[in-house]
Structure 1
Amino acid sequence: MTTDHDIKDITLADAGRERIDWAFSEMPVLRAIYKRFTREQPLAGARISGCLHITTETANLARTLRMGGAELVLCASNPLSTQDDVAAALVRHEQIPTFAIRGEDTTTYYHHISKALDHRPQLTMDDGADLISELHQHRTELLATIRGGSEETTTGVLRLRAMAEEGALKYPVIAVNDAMTKHLFDNRYGTGQSALDGIIRATNILLAGKIFTVAGYGWCGRGIAMRAKGHGAQVIVTEVEPLKALEAAMDGFRVMPMFEAAACSDFIVTATGDKHVLDTAHFEIMKDGCVIANAGHFNVEINIPALEALAVVKQRPRTHVQSYRLKGGRCIRLLTEGRLVNLAAAEGHPAAVMDMSFANQALSMAYLWRNGTKLTHSVHQVPVNIDRQVAQMKLAVMGLRIDALSPEQRHYLVSWRDGT
């Protein structure tokens, strides 16, 4: 067992290992990469620091990278997303130094990031870009030896693109989030299922017949709206982008401003990556008993200090529910302190979709270890051949076959002379 770690309870390790193995059985693409990495050692000598959600699926990514030759240290990317038994299993059974405790305070959270950076990484992995942010603001002496990094969230990619625009980003980062095999599946089907799972576990309230508002119609919002509709809810979408709002309307959802939606909604879920999507003006007109939750990475989408200021009584009727009673008697129910509801109240995305996301992550790490020094200090797309390879592997393990273009068809697609 590695001696360098900070976790809740090492005695949870055996239970964690069983759940990690269970998840691995649902990750056939990553299993194939695990075997290849064990054989080829594409990360031999690489030091990697990862600031990620410490879940069963992440543990399988970590095992794969280690079997590929990497020396790995992990810390949590969200104070409420750590699965303590998984953290224990990583330390005891995988010998991977891990710094993550479910419910850790902000000071501990950043101390854990600092411990991960003490590893002096040559590659970084992020969920939300906090590790990269800390590197660039407080540990700049480490930047010179870093070849590259990866980012797996929409929120993190937005932050990194802002850094690149300002010329502040000092090494290349691959936006794993933007891989087609990531955002089309992980964000839509993974978030759609797991966010609803978290809301239902937290509240045990029937969704059928309820008015359910989704703030943001990106890939995550699409998934949440789709699954809420499947539960029989009447779904409203709020947006600031005209094209996305139009798409939501064409998909059969009601579209309106949040100020109108807040007055009639039984549930409101934010999935925008932006700040104060739910604010004082919305709280003041919300329906009595409205449940509000966040599926974005950071707990800034709901203005919790503003809600606290309006409350006259606070109660905790259930483990993941904070009830705020306002003047006049109306009650607003906040889930999981405004943090990622799918990870704080449930178990995060199903392993089958994380299979593709973490396949991209593993292959991108190997790509960066080979090519990072040749790339510009900006945000890069996952190489197309990696994205296609992951899709092909997933089809194969699902037992699905597709057609292939003939030489004549390939020629036609790149020529202009042949017409009608």
Structure 2
Amino acid sequence: MSTSVAQVKHYDVADLALAPLGRKRIEWADREMPVLRLIRERFAKERPLEGLRLVACCHVTTETANLARTLQAGGAEAVLIASNPLSTQDDVAASLVADFGIPVFARKGESTDDYRKHVLLALDTNPHLIIDDGGDVVSTLVKERSDLVPNVLGSTEETTTGIQRLKAMQASGVLPFPVIAVNDAQTKHMFDNRYGTGQSTLDGVIRATNLLMAGRTLVVVGYGWCGKGVAMRGRGLGANVIVCEVNPIRAIEAVMDGFRVMPIAEAATQGDVFITVTGNRHVIDRQHFAVMKDGAIVCNSGHFDLELNLVALREMAREVRDVRPFVQEYELAETGRRVIVLGEGRLINLAAAEGHPASVMDMSFANQALSAEYLKKHAGSLEKTIHRLPEEVDLEIASLKLEAMGVRIDTLTAEMVEYINSWEHGT
């Protein structure tokens, strides 16, 4: 039987004593999130989410904390759970509970069983809205708690992986409510995926290893927006970048952007550092590990930890050693060569670093907050499909960001508007 937010166990965090540090860091991030702050101020006045129970499954970071505060300001009873077992910042989770009264169920390094338990605990609140990050809450709801579906107005999703899962659900005819594809907003994927993932992924690799990237061969597997960002930042640090792709258009783009492109089977023998950003399963597999250089470093910046076939790697290894925090060395039985795995194959930018900079997440989370408002406002009128947030909302977020950055742009004159809207004017 479903319960209210007030009746459920209030929180499961590592240590409430960490709250003072968490609050300082949340407030520091807020300085770099002017767009979300403006939305929070409006939400506090208008209360557009009043009376709604909301489950947010996100990386529990300082930036997410400011999203949670915004949803709370809008009147939502929000419950926050982690979307990845290694991405939680324990001090932030503690502050959200102690300082803001937001129920949080998340601990850095929690087991997969605890992670799944937290998903079910969150669903026990009988939510009206879901903010998902990877699709786990929605898929669990459909498979295990379908009794709750009639009360759900809709969901949002901000990862490429999650959108892929939702499209599969839609194609199978099991998507039970409308979903806003936040990931498809230009102010999300063009900035968050490219600039956020690009910087934070390399930050995670460097923090974990203290590696000099200049002169290394960096293999980027996948050339979507995330892959473009990683490749761009890798080249900026002086790495020799190779791109692996299955999509011919993206492969051509990578070539035209000045990168070498080849199959992963060929790149596996050349790379010093491998970063996967595909959202797909086992893109680096047994046969690739077998031919890597001694000391090759592999990590993942896609949402789930399946991009590296670590089960196969363990079977190939005669010894596995922890050599640094978030760094494991696998010594291969056949060759004696060593393969280094970072962050247990989970999101390296959150496992070993702090995730995306707050100024990037400002736009992504502005999209999340406005998507929640949009779902509430249009409850009952949206088809049970995947929707994009209206373009005017995307443009509004971009305009607010430019204003906060002190950047001014041109506007169309009346003559220009007339010209582009007319078919009668020629050359």
What is the TM-score when the length of structure 2 is the normalising length? 0.97
Structure 1 counterpart of 2:395, one-letter code: R
Instruction: Tell me the equivalent position of 1:59.
Output: 65
Q: Where do residues 58-137 of structure 1 align in structure 2 (5 Å cutoff)? A: 58-137=64-143
Instruction: Tell me the equivalent position of 2:47.
Output: 41
Secondary structure (helix, strand or coil) at the match of 1:132 reads helix
Name the CA distance, whole Å, in 2 between partners of 1:86 and 1:182.
23
CA deviation string 1:275-321 (max 9, x = no partner): 00000110111111100000000000000000001001111110111
Given candidates 193, 207, 211, the residue that maps to 2:199 is 193
2:221 is equivalent to residue 181 of structure 1: no
Q: Identify unmatched segments of 5+ residues in structure 2.
A: 1-5
Structure 1 counterpart of 2:393, one-letter code: I
How many positions carry a matched residue from both structures? 419
Secondary structure (helix, strand or coil) at the match of 2:380 reads helix
Q: Where do residues 154-165 of structure 1 align in structure 2 (5 Å cutoff)? A: 154-165=160-171
Name the CA distance, whole Å, in 1 between partners of 2:379 and 2:242.
44
Runs of 4 or more, structure 1, over 3 Å off, are none
Q: Identify unmatched segments of 5+ residues in structure 1.
A: none
Structure 2 counterpart of 1:221, one-letter code: G
Given candidates 300, 305, 310, the residue that maps to 2:316 is 310
Instruction: Tell me the equivalent position of 1:319.
Output: 325
Q: Where do residues 9-408 of structure 1 align in structure 2 (5 Å cutoff)? A: 9-326=15-332, 327-408=334-415
Name the CA distance, whole Å, in 1 between partners of 2:339 and 2:239.
19
Name the CA distance, whole Å, in 2 between partners of 1:361 and 1:149.
10
Secondary structure (helix, strand or coil) at the match of 1:93 reads helix
**Distance apart, 1:118 and its partner CA:** 1.1
Name the CA distance, whole Å, in 1 between partners of 2:125 and 2:400.
33
Name the CA distance, whole Å, in 2 between partners of 1:260 and 1:372.
51
Structure 2 counterpart of 1:165, one-letter code: A
Name the CA distance, whole Å, in 1 between partners of 2:360 and 2:171.
31
Name the CA distance, whole Å, in 2 between partners of 1:313 and 1:359.
46
Secondary structure (helix, strand or coil) at the match of 2:220 reads strand
**Distance apart, 1:119 and its partner CA:** 1.1
**Distance apart, 1:382 and its partner CA:** 1.4
Name the CA distance, whole Å, in 2 between partners of 1:166 and 1:406.
48
Name the CA distance, whole Å, in 2 between partners of 1:64 and 1:181.
18
**Distance apart, 1:328 and its partner CA:** 2.0
Name the CA distance, whole Å, in 1 between partners of 2:184 and 2:20.
35
Secondary structure (helix, strand or coil) at the match of 1:149 reads strand
**Distance apart, 1:372 and its partner CA:** 2.8
Secondary structure (helix, strand or coil) at the match of 2:379 reads helix
Name the CA distance, whole Å, in 2 between partners of 1:236 and 1:255.
6
**Distance apart, 1:373 and its partner CA:** 1.4
Identity of aligned residues (%): 56
Structure 2 counterpart of 1:417, one-letter code: E
Name the CA distance, whole Å, in 2 between partners of 1:33 and 1:344.
29
Secondary structure (helix, strand or coil) at the match of 2:299 reads strand
Secondary structure (helix, strand or coil) at the match of 1:374 reads coil
Q: Kindly indicate whether the alpha-carbon contact (under 8 Å) linking 1:171 and 1:377 is maintained by their aligned counterparts in 2.
A: yes
Structure 1 counterpart of 2:82, one-letter code: A
CA deviation string 1:163-218 (max 9, x = no partner): 01111000001010110000000000000000000000001111100000000000
> Root-mean-square deviation (CA), in Å?
0.8
Q: Kindly indicate whether the alpha-carbon contact (under 8 Å) linking 1:172 and 1:372 is maintained by their aligned counterparts in 2.
A: no
